Amino acid sequence: MITGMAVNAAVAIAEKRAQRAGSSVYAGRARVMIERAVYAAKSSNWLVIVSGFVEPVLYLMAFGYGIGQLIGNVTDGNGDPVTYAAFIAPALLATSAMNGAIYDATWNVFFKMHFGKVYQMVLSSSLGPLDVALGEIAWALLRGAAYSVGFMAIAAPLGLITSWWGVLAIPAATLIAFGFASFGMAVTSYMKSFQQMQWVSFALLPMFLFSGTFFPVSVYPEWIQAIVMALPLWQGVELIRAFTLGNISIALLGHIAYFVVMIAIGLVFTTKRLRELFMR
Amino acid sequence: MSQSKEREVVIRAKDLKKTYKDFVAVNGINFQVYRGESFGLLGPNGAGKSTTMKMISSVSQRSSGELEILGKEPNTQGPEIRAHLGVVPQKDLLDRELKVWENLMVYGRYFGLSRKWLKGKIEELLDFAQLQDKRNAKADDLSGGMQRRLAIARGLVNEPEILLLDEPTTGLDPQARHILWDRLFRLKEQGVTLVITTHYMDEAEQLCDRLIVMDKGEIMAEGSPAELIKKYSSKEVVEVRFGADRNESVAKELEGMGDRIEVLPDRILIYAEQGEPLLAKIIESGKNPITSLVRRSSLEDVFLRLTGRTLVD
Amino acid sequence: MTDLRFAPGKVVDPKRAVKFGAWRVAEYRFYSMSKWMGAIFAFGLGNPILYLISVGLGIGALVDANTGGQGILGVSYLQFVAPALLASAAIQGVMDEVTFPTMDGFVWDKLFFAINATSVSARQIADGVMIVALGRGLFTCLLYLGVLLAFGAVPFSSVLGLIASSMLAAWGWAAVMLAITARLERDEGYFAIIGRFVIAPMFLFSGTFYPLEQMPIYLQPLGWLSPLWHATELGRNLSYGMEIEPSMFWTHIGYLALLGVIGMAFTYPKFAERLSR
């Protein structure tokens, strides 16, 4: 009796939702994708999932302390000297947010689209393409946020976070990951072959190396600086570095706005593309 | 073929045994395959067919017993034997990154064949497999039937003496199956010895001159399809249904009719030389079946009788 | 339809077929590879250029400024990292070519089983994979050296020595990875694990970016195990004459060769075992 009522209520809600404008794109059930991801994660190798923050920590040790001894101090955005380790720590956090998001939203999505055929199956249920996009991205962000916490838990005791503003580095890293995930997923949905995907990864390398990650962009001529500053990783590095070093200014809003726009563009194109691919 | 002269044996297995750790996959089997014949290995999943195939294809070493292929010893002369074998594995194992003709070229090169010779051969094979239109398609983009034909063409690139086919038509539609059967017949006419595993009985009846039925690593029966049907079944079968709740009780009353009666949950099978008169007799006796069918006995009946009806996996 | 002309068992000469199997396997891999020559070329050239500009020149500017133009041990930072980057590129190059094809061969597409159904033996397949990996490594190495020379990071006279030391390390490492990859029954995030726990630490803690002696003493054994460190020491000696004792010179060579021999010794039986199941 009660179950009967519950079923009726559920059906009524589902019908109402189905009549809402845009329900063919978004059924409001993106979290089902997260549930699926949790099941899949359970049966995959836990070491892979848990160790996601290992790489930036290794880079921090090698570059921050190893090369740091050779370099001494560098100057931050305000012209104050900071240790080399404190200079690159926020950059490594931003980079790992990017890499994690890119991995989840590109390679992972690419395999699911072309080999696993997971989306085809999902979209034949009542879920829409935006549910898929949001669900996949949300999962990537959950993991990314956990890794950020892990990284901060190592960097803070080492004295690399010099300001309480540093707490905001975690949501900032998540925002950056969101930007890369939604944009990356949009790009991935246009890729057809493995080789094209390799080019995408390759395109990320210069961004990693030149976005003020390992040395200040001021070493470049003006015009190269302008190009670097237009790239998302530089925006992210600057945002997190400002928080961990406590250099708060109005300019941070600009970085945040950059990622909001990036997220919006990514979501629009991903949704459009998933519709074209699977719902013709 | 009733040739009086001794037929040449190309595969000879004696007490052939294969164990994996403590599991016995093939338990001391004996058989011979003659040149130019088409030889079938039948059996349910896990019967040891594929293991036997792997030993014949000279990649898997036997645990004990004797095995001779084309007069050679597979344990020590594997590569030389394989030079004259064609293998069509169950999963086609095509190189999905390569185009159709590239798959054939590359495979031919493994046998040390020259590019020039292969170019001509590949044209023939593409014709044979009806893949000329798809020569420049990637193997990954072919339909299941085309992939299987490509795998067969690939297995023929070295003009093998023996072609080994592991469940060649599993997953194919009826058209594709018939095309394949036709191709295999042509190969036989060219003198190729075929060794086929299958669990499709109609396929075995169509293709095999002689076959063995395996179960749990042992040979249950050997002979031509007709011989096996004669020996292990009767000519015809009457299938009658009285409803799931009545089959058991009615079956008791039918005892003594035909050569043998088998009661299944959904129907009763009565094996007999002549089906129609028997069915008439049943109806006359006032037992009105819901449905009835008289058919010729098939290899499937033999198979189920020998290997049982319980699910294996 | 033309009929199939068929002479069963006549066209293949078994004597000929069993020879050079490894090269036929290599031929097929090179053929597959040639299809994305553009990408291999671009990655091979792009990687060193990007690393040299960012690490060699960018970080180098900071290091050289801090050390008052002294650099490390009397050479510029660029000259210091160049041999390490070269060896690391060679190692990475062969690494990709032994791991992915081997997973493909045994686990994903199972192509090795198809190859082994011909007259090619298990050992020849392993050798074929290795030949291709070394070919790819050498190619990467040559491109990298070209860039290093253009940046003036290594002297021309050291080119042959650097190729030899880098390729020796690449072979040693490839053999070990081949032996390990051949043992994997499933994927299960293996590449992520190896990347995080083996490749990244090796790249970062082998005295690549700063002298190994600068690491805490308890971390230095990591470097001693790493083929990259041995190749880097050899490379620095050959390139700008960093002093090492003759006994160490031969120890480095011996260690790398030993890795290769042990790796292959564990590879061959595993290939044979897996293919004969």
Task: Compute the average pLDDT of residues B243-262.
Answer: 84
Let me know if B156 is exposed, middle or buried by CB neighbors in 10 A (0-12, 13-18, 19+): buried
Total count of domains within chain A: 1
Q: What is the pLDDT of residues A105-137, one digit of tens each?
A: 888 788 787 766 777 777 777 778 888 888 888
Domain extent at residue B276: 234-296
Element at A73 (helix H, strand E): strand A73-75
Q: Which chains have 3 or more CB–CB distances shorter than 8 Å to chain A?
A: C
Distance of alpha carbon B160 from alpha carbon B192, whole angstroms? 7
Report residue B248 as tokens.
């058991």
Closest CA to A142 of A26, A268, A30, A255: A30
- The number of residues making up chain C comes to 277
Report the pLDDT value the prediction gives residue B2, as an integer from 0 to 100.
45
Q: What is the pLDDT of residues B18-33, one digit of tens each?
A: 998 889 999 999 999 9
Give CA separation, A234 vs A90, A91, A126, B25, in Å: 11, 9, 40, 62
In a domain, B59, yes or no: yes
Residues 6+ apart with CB under 8 A from B58: B69, B74, B77, B78, B81, B82, B85
CB A241 within 8 A of CB A90: yes
Mean pLDDT of chain B: 89
Residues of chain C in contact with residue A67, where contact means CB-CB under 8 angstroms, are 59, 63, 209-210
Say whether residue A22 is in contact with chain C using an 8 A CB cutoff. Answer: no
Residues B14 and B58 both lie in one domain = yes
Cβ–Cβ gap B160/C8 under 8 Å: yes
Q: Which of B82, B85, B94 to mutate to test the interface with C (most CBs of C within 10 A)?
A: B82
Residues 6+ apart with CB under 8 A from C121: B78, B79, C18, C21
Residues B126 and B206 both lie in one domain = yes
Task: Assign A1 a pLDDT band (cuts: 50, 70, 90).
Answer: low
- The number of residues making up chain B comes to 313
Residues of chain C in contact with residue B94, where contact means CB-CB under 8 angstroms, are 114
Residues of chain C in contact with residue A225, where contact means CB-CB under 8 angstroms, are none
Residues 6+ apart with CB under 8 A from B190: C4, C6, C8
Total count of domains within chain C: 1
Cβ–Cβ gap C55/A209 under 8 Å: yes
Q: How far is C194 from chain B (nearest CA, A)?
A: 26
Cβ–Cβ gap A71/C66 under 8 Å: yes
Residue ranges of A 59-78 with Cβ closer than 8 A to chain C: 59, 61-63, 66-67, 69-72, 74
In a domain, B174, yes or no: yes
Report the pLDDT value the prediction gives residue C172, as an integer from 0 to 100.
97
In a domain, B4, yes or no: no
Assess whether pLDDT exceeds 60 at residue A151. Answer: yes
Distance of alpha carbon A102 from alpha carbon B248, whole angstroms? 64
In a domain, C2, yes or no: no
Q: How far is B238 from chain C (nearest CA, A)?
A: 44
| Dihedral sign of CA atoms C211, C216, C220, C222 in order | negative
Instruction: Find tokens 């130019």 and name the residue.
Output: B36
Distance of alpha carbon C17 from alpha carbon A67, whole angstroms? 55
The DSSP line for chain C is -PPPP--TTTS--HHHHTTTHHHHHHHHHHHHHHTTHHHHHHHHHHHHHHHIIIIIIIIHHHHHHHTTT--BTTB-HHHHHHHHHHHHHHHHHHHHHHHHHHHHHHTSS-HHHHHHTTT--HHHHHHHHHHHHHHHHHHHHHHHHHHHHHTT-S-GGGHHHHHHHHHHHHHHHHHHHHHHHTT-SS-TTHHHHHIIIIIHHHHHSSSSSS-GGGS-TTTHHHHHH-HHHHHHHHHHHHHH-----HHHHHHHHHHHHHHHHHHHHHHHHHHHHHHT-
Task: Compute the average pLDDT of residues B153-181.
Answer: 90
Residues B153 and B255 both lie in one domain = no
Mean pLDDT of chain A: 84
Report the pLDDT value the prediction gives residue A5, as an integer from 0 to 100.
65
Residues B36 and B99 both lie in one domain = yes
In a domain, C9, yes or no: no
Distance of alpha carbon B148 from alpha carbon B176, whole angstroms? 9
Say whether residue B117 is in contact with chain C using an 8 A CB cutoff. Answer: yes
CATH for B290: 3.30.70
Distance of alpha carbon C135 from alpha carbon C122, whole angstroms? 20
Report the pLDDT value the prediction gives residue B21, as an integer from 0 to 100.
86
In a domain, C227, yes or no: yes
| Dihedral sign of CA atoms A218, A223, A224, A228 in order | positive
Task: Compute the average pLDDT of residues B108-115.
Answer: 92
Total count of domains within chain B: 2
CB B216 within 8 A of CB B47: yes
Residues B225 and B246 both lie in one domain = no
Report the pLDDT value the prediction gives residue C1, as an integer from 0 to 100.
46
Cβ–Cβ gap C72/A70 under 8 Å: yes
Q: Is B167 left (phi over 0), alpha (psi -120 to 50) or beta?
A: left
Report residue C125 as tokens.
């397949």
| Dihedral sign of CA atoms A132, A137, A139, A142 in order | negative
CB C189 within 8 A of CB A45: yes
Report the pLDDT value the prediction gives residue A23, as an integer from 0 to 100.
66
Residues B81 and B114 both lie in one domain = yes
In a domain, B308, yes or no: no
Nearest CA in chain B to C114: B93
- Domain closes at, from B195, B230, B265: B230
Instruction: Find tokens 């990650």 and name the residue.
Output: A213
Cβ–Cβ gap C193/A48 under 8 Å: yes
Cβ–Cβ gap A210/C54 under 8 Å: yes
- Amino acid identity of residue B29, one-letter, is I
Calculate ∠ Cα A7-A8-A14, nearest 5°: 90
Assess whether pLDDT exceeds 80 at residue A78. Answer: no
Report the pLDDT value the prediction gives residue C124, as an integer from 0 to 100.
96
Burial C115-152 (b: 16+ CB within 10 A, else e): bbbbbbbbbbbbbbbbbbbbbbbbbbbebbbebbeebe
CB B218 within 8 A of CB B49: no
Cβ–Cβ gap A215/C59 under 8 Å: yes
Report the pLDDT value the prediction gives residue C237, as an integer from 0 to 100.
96
Q: Between the ranges A18-22, A135-139, A241-245, where is the mean pLDDT highest?
A: A241-245
CATH for B41: 3.40.50.300
Task: Assign A11 a pLDDT band (cuts: 50, 70, 90).
Answer: low
Closest CA to B207 of B186, B234, B232, B230: B186
Cβ–Cβ gap C276/B60 under 8 Å: yes
CB C75 within 8 A of CB C240: yes
Task: Assign B4 a pLDDT band (cuts: 50, 70, 90).
Answer: very low
Residues 6+ apart with CB under 8 A from A87: A74, A76, A241
Domain extent at residue C256: 21-29+36-275
Report the pLDDT value the prediction gives residue B1, as an integer from 0 to 100.
46
Residues B93 and B158 both lie in one domain = yes
CA dihedral C11, C14, C20, C24 (to 10 degrees): 40
In a domain, C4, yes or no: no
Residues B114 and B242 both lie in one domain = no
Q: What is the pLDDT of residues B286-297, one digit of tens each?
A: 888 889 999 988
By three-state DSSP, how is residue B280 classified?
A: helix
Task: Compute the average pLDDT of residues A168-185.
Answer: 94
Task: Assign A101 a pLDDT band (cuts: 50, 70, 90).
Answer: confident
Percent of chain B at pLDDT exceeding 90: 54
Adjacent-strand bridge partners of B64: B17
Beta strands in A76-158, from DSSP E residues, in sequence order: 81-83
Cβ–Cβ gap C8/B85 under 8 Å: no
What global pTM score does this model have? 0.85
Assess whether pLDDT exceeds 50 at residue B120. Answer: yes
Closest CA to B29 of B217, B224, B307: B217
CB C276 within 8 A of CB B59: yes
Calculate ∠ Cα B154-A115-A198, nearest 5°: 95
In a domain, C185, yes or no: yes
Task: Compute the average pLDDT of residues A93-104.
Answer: 87
More confident residue, B89 or C255: C255
Inter-axis angle of helices A84-102 and A169-188, to 10 degrees? 40
Assess whether pLDDT exceeds 80 at residue A159. Answer: yes
Report residues of chain C scoring pLDDT below 70: 1-3, 69, 71
Cβ–Cβ gap C118/B89 under 8 Å: no
Task: Compute the average pLDDT of residues B221-243.
Answer: 90
Minimum mean pLDDT among A42-51, A174-183, B166-175, C23-32: which range? A42-51
Say whether residue A219 is in contact with chain C using an 8 A CB cutoff. Answer: yes
By three-state DSSP, how is residue B200 classified?
A: coil
Assess whether pLDDT exceeds 80 at residue B3. Answer: no
Q: What is the pLDDT of residues B176-226, one digit of tens each?
A: 889 889 989 989 998 999 999 988 888 898 899 999 999 999 999 999 998
Strand arrangement, sheet containing B218-223: B85-88, B162-166, B193-198, B38-42, B210-215, B218-223
Cβ–Cβ gap C189/A47 under 8 Å: yes
Say whether residue C222 is in contact with chain A using an 8 A CB cutoff. Answer: no
CB A63 within 8 A of CB C209: yes
Report the pLDDT value the prediction gives residue A32, as an integer from 0 to 100.
82
Domain extent at residue A221: 2-278
Burial B299-313 (b: 16+ CB within 10 A, else e): bbbbbbbbbeeeeee
Residues B214 and B250 both lie in one domain = no
Distance of alpha carbon A118 from alpha carbon A136, whole angstroms? 12
Q: Which of C15, C31, C118 to mutate to test the interface with B (most CBs of B within 10 A)?
A: C118
Cβ–Cβ gap B59/C6 under 8 Å: no
Percent of chain A at pLDDT exceeding 70: 89
Question: Within 13 Å and on the Cβ side, how many CA atoms surround C165?
Answer: 30
CB B63 within 8 A of CB B82: no
Task: Assign B71 a pLDDT band (cuts: 50, 70, 90).
Answer: very high
CB A133 within 8 A of CB A274: yes
Q: How far is C104 from chain B (nearest CA, A)?
A: 10
